[in-house]
Structure formats: structure tokens, C-alpha cells
Amino acid sequence: MNTAAKLGSYVLGLAVVFGGALGAGKAVGPVGAPPAEDHSAMAAPTASAGHGKHVMQQAKSDTPGGLQVSQNGYTLNPLTTTIKPGEPTDYRFTVTGPDGRPVTDYQVEHDKKLHFIVVSRDLGNFQHVHPTEAGDGVWSVKLTLPSAGTYRAFADFAPTGGSALTLGTDVLVAGDYEPKALPQVSRTAKVDGYEVALDGDLTPGQASKLTLKVSKDGKPVTDLQPYLGAYGHLVALRAKDLAYLHVHPDGAPGDGKTKAGPEIVFYAEVPSTGDYRLFLDFQHEGKVRTADFTLGTGERPELPAPAPSEHGDDHSH
Ligand SMILES: [Cu+2]
């Protein structure tokens, strides 16, 4: 499959969840997103080029990723059922396709065939790992889940010839546990001597620009390193049900306009009001770190009322 086709398939996956994000990105100017013709080509046949509205409506009716263990004929099958707290475990699973067989052909997205995210149900612990597949469709990854409780695992992938999917399953770690409250809303995160400040608001149903600024010892970091093809990877999870929204940065390393920090810009579209947890992976000085935030949304904007006749010149028929 050629690069354009790969990109196209990947864009389809994004468009399903972030149709509005791509549309709005287009409206505000070049954002390193694929050209409009790719976008329209991959959108539903009814979505004519340039009419982001159609794509947006499609996105709104769509179920967010990560809530289902099976979707579009693809099913995530955990093979490891027992995990003890704090013990490194070889976690194994398959993804079966519409023919019932383990999938072995995947498209590479951000340098990997499959991204695997594991979070504790209280959203305090987050791990983004990359399992390996031995050729028989069985994936495995070394996981250490720190304490007893319920976790959620997400497999984020695109089968060759199919669209991008995120399947989710529960992972149980036996033992006593005390449920913890969601970490408090915060726009700054500290990790390993770095401080990451988050600017921007999540507005349900709209592409929301989020700017994350990375500093170390009070100084802006301007030499972030590309990690999996981007200066940052942001995962957004809806607090109440762990709906999974993989957000992507505006621009890519080497595109001639995206700087290596201190700011990383993302466009995210969240489907509803409520609290979200955001996890940013970034790489500096050879090490990947994760900054985490809790962010509430603004209100869902009112649907535009039918244009009154005195403003009849600003809408089209
Ligand atoms: Cu990944």
C-alpha cells in the first residue's frame, strides 16, 4: 500500500472521531493536516468537499473509541487473565478480524502497528506501551500494574485495508483497593523536573485548540525530540466512562514550520460535557515522560438558531 493510501486510511479513522477537528483546522488555515481532497475523499460519500458540517454531524452520532471490545468485526481477545499487583506480567492478547482469525497485517501509525494504553479506572495511573507481535497474531507486552483494582486497556490500531479502531477491555488486578477520587482539575503538571502548562478549553462538539508548554527549571524547552513521529502524543479519556480520544498535534517534526517546543499544539474534540483526563507523552534528552491533567469542559454551545431575516446575507441555501 502506498503512503498516500496509508495516510488516507488513517485519516478516515481520525475523521470518524475528529471530523469536526479536521474541518475547523482547515477553516483556520494550514495546520499540517492532509490536503482537503484527501479529507473529502475519505469522508462519507454524502459529505461533499468543503462542507465540514456533514462530517461533523457524522462525528456527533458516532460512538467514541475504546468503549467496546468488538467493533466493525474486529475483537480484542485478552489471553492473560491474572495479574498480581506490582509484579511484571507478560500480558498477551490477539485481535481477531471479521474472519475470526487473529489479525497479523496492520498499518503503521506513528511508527507502530499497535499502540496499547493501560489506565487505572480512577485515572491515576497511565501507561502507553508498544506490544510486539511474533507473527502469529499474538501480541505481548511486559506490564506492571502497581496496585489492586480495575484497569482499562486500549488497543489503538488500523488493520491493513480497514479503518483505525480503538478497542477496550477491562483488566482486573486482585486484592484490596480503595477507589480514589479523580485528580483535581489542574492546568499545570509536574514530572521529573519538568513543568507543563496547558492553555485552551475543551468545548464539546467542537475542535478545541490545546497548547501545552513544556519548561524545565523555569526555562522553556526548545529542543523536544520527536517521539513516534511527533513532538507530543496526547490521550484524552472521558472520566465517567473512559471513552478514548487519541488527539494529534498540529504539525510534525521536519515539516518546516513546527518548532521543537516549548509549545505543542493539539486539536481535540470531546463528545460531551464533563471531566476529562489528559495524558501528554513527550520526549526530551532521550527520555519519554508523561504529564497528566484533569480538565472540565465548557458548556456545549447552543445549536445555531435559524438565521433571522436581517442577517439573511450570512447563510447559504
Ligand atoms: Cu503508541
Q: Does the structure show a pLDDT above 50 at 230? A: yes
Q: How far is the CA of 229 from the centre of ligand 1 (A)?
A: 10
**Strand duo 149-157 + 263-268: pairing:** unpaired
Across residues 137-154, what is the average pLDDT?
A: 97
User: In whole numbers, what is the pLDDT of the chain averaged over residues?
Assistant: 82
Q: How far apart are CA 9 and CA 283, in angstroms?
A: 27
Q: How far is the CA of 299 from the centre of ligand 1 (A)?
A: 31
Query: Higher model confidence: residue 55 or residue 225?
Result: 225
Query: Higher model confidence: residue 123 or residue 7?
Result: 123
What CA–CA distances, in Å, run from 131 to 49, 66, 204, 217, 257? 38, 17, 32, 34, 32
Q: How far is the CA of 147 from the centre of ligand 1 (A)?
A: 23
Which amino acid, residue 199? D
- The angle that helices 3-28 and 52-61 make with each other, rounded to 10 degrees, is 110
Q: How far is the CA of 311 from the centre of ligand 1 (A)?
A: 48
Q: How far is the CA of 51 from the centre of ligand 1 (A)?
A: 32
Give residue-wise pLDDT tens across range 30-80.
333 333 333 333 333 433 443 433 333 333 447 899 999 999 999 999 999
> What local confidence, expressed as pLDDT, does residue 246 receive?
65
Alpha helices in the chain (DSSP H): 3-28, 36-42, 52-61
Q: Does the structure show a pLDDT above 50 at 240? A: yes
% of residues, the chain, pLDDT over 90 = 68
Give the predicted TM-score (pTM) of the model: 0.77
> What local confidence, expressed as pLDDT, does residue 279 receive?
97
% of residues, the chain, pLDDT over 70 = 75
Query: Higher model confidence: residue 252 or residue 132?
Result: 132
> What local confidence, expressed as pLDDT, does residue 245 receive?
86
Which amino acid, residue 18? F
Q: How far is the CA of 109 from the centre of ligand 1 (A)?
A: 9
pLDDT band at 82 (very low <50, low <70, confident <90, very high): confident
Q: How far is the CA of 107 from the centre of ligand 1 (A)?
A: 13
> What local confidence, expressed as pLDDT, does residue 2 receive?
47
Bridge partners, 93 (sequence order): 78, 139
Across residues 91-111, what is the average pLDDT?
A: 96
Q: Does the structure show a pLDDT above 90 at 117? A: yes
In angstroms and rounded to an integer, the radius of gyration of the C-alpha atoms of the chain is 20
> What local confidence, expressed as pLDDT, does residue 299 receive?
77
Q: How far is the CA of 130 from the centre of ligand 1 (A)?
A: 6
Q: How far apart are CA 262 and CA 313, in angstroms?
A: 43
Q: How far is the CA of 112 from the centre of ligand 1 (A)?
A: 7
Q: How far is the CA of 281 from the centre of ligand 1 (A)?
A: 9
Q: How far is the CA of 118 from the centre of ligand 1 (A)?
A: 11
Q: Is 28 exposed, middle or buried (0-12, 13-18, 19+ CB in 10 A)?
A: exposed
> What local confidence, expressed as pLDDT, does residue 215 receive?
98
> What local confidence, expressed as pLDDT, does residue 76 receive?
98
Q: How far is the CA of 82 from the centre of ligand 1 (A)?
A: 24
Q: How far is the CA of 126 from the centre of ligand 1 (A)?
A: 12
> What local confidence, expressed as pLDDT, does residue 314 receive?
47
Give residue-wise pLDDT tens across range 187-202.
999 999 999 999 999 9
Across residues 197-208, what is the average pLDDT?
A: 93
pLDDT band at 300 (very low <50, low <70, confident <90, very high): confident
136: left (phi over 0), alpha (psi -120 to 50) or beta: alpha
Q: How far is the CA of 282 from the centre of ligand 1 (A)?
A: 12
pLDDT band at 249 (very low <50, low <70, confident <90, very high): confident
